[in-house]
């Protein structure tokens, strides 16, 4: 059974999750640049461009999880513990983008949503780190 799972992972799932991980890294890079530009250097002129880039990074997980939600149904989708974090990660990111696009990034609401988004992002990053075989023991240790 273990060989079958390993084969399916190698042939089908691994590349899909590596692609999703690339989208995640792109999104997290945009988030880091946004936080540094806006909150460290107070440079607001590129704010909306960075938010559009962040929105493109959230598009892939939003599409994938929307499909999963539709395919599995609400009850089955939310019965998985990890889907709660995926849901929180996606919608806190989307809310962060919308709030920062239409309001000042220095409002308390934007900062609170940013903290929630970052916490969900850490969990999502740990989930993706399990893909890399050499990092699996580290992720298991952190659980």
**Domain enclosing residue 122, as ranges:** 2-142
- Cα–Cα distance measured from residue 120 to residue 115, given in angstroms and rounded to the nearest whole number: 9
- Cα–Cα distance measured from residue 58 to residue 52, given in angstroms and rounded to the nearest whole number: 10
The SS3 assignment for 55 reads: helix
The SS3 assignment for 74 reads: helix
- Cα–Cα distance measured from residue 28 to residue 137, given in angstroms and rounded to the nearest whole number: 23
What pLDDT was estimated at residue 92? 95
Number of domains in the chain: 1
What pLDDT was estimated at residue 58? 92
2 vs 9, 57, 133, 138, CA distance in Å? 11, 34, 16, 22
Ordered per-residue pLDDT tens for the chain, 143 residues: 666 556 555 666 777 778 888 889 999 999 999 999 999 998 888 899 999 999 999 998 999 999 999 999 999 999 988 888 889 999 999 999 999 999 999 999 999 999 999 999 988 888 877 776 666 665 555 55
């Amino acid at each position: 059974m273990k060989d079958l799972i390993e084969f399916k992972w190698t042939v089908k799932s691994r590349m899909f999750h590596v692609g999703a991980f690339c989208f995640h890294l792109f999104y997290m890079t945009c988030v880091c640049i946004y936080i540094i530009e806006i909150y460290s250097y107070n440079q607001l002129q590129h704010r909306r461009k960075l938010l559009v880039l962040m929105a493109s990074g959230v598009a892939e997980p939003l599409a994938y999880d929307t499909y999963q939600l539709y395919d599995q149904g609400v009850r089955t989708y939310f019965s998985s513990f990890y889907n709660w974090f995926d849901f929180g990660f996606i919608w806190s990111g989307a809310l962060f983008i919308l709030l920062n696009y239409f309001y000042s990034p220095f409002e308390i609401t934007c900062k609170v949503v940013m903290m929630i988004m970052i916490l969900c992002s850490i969990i999502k990053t740990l989930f993706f780190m399990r893909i890399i075989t050499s990092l699996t023991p580290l992720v298991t240790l952190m659980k």
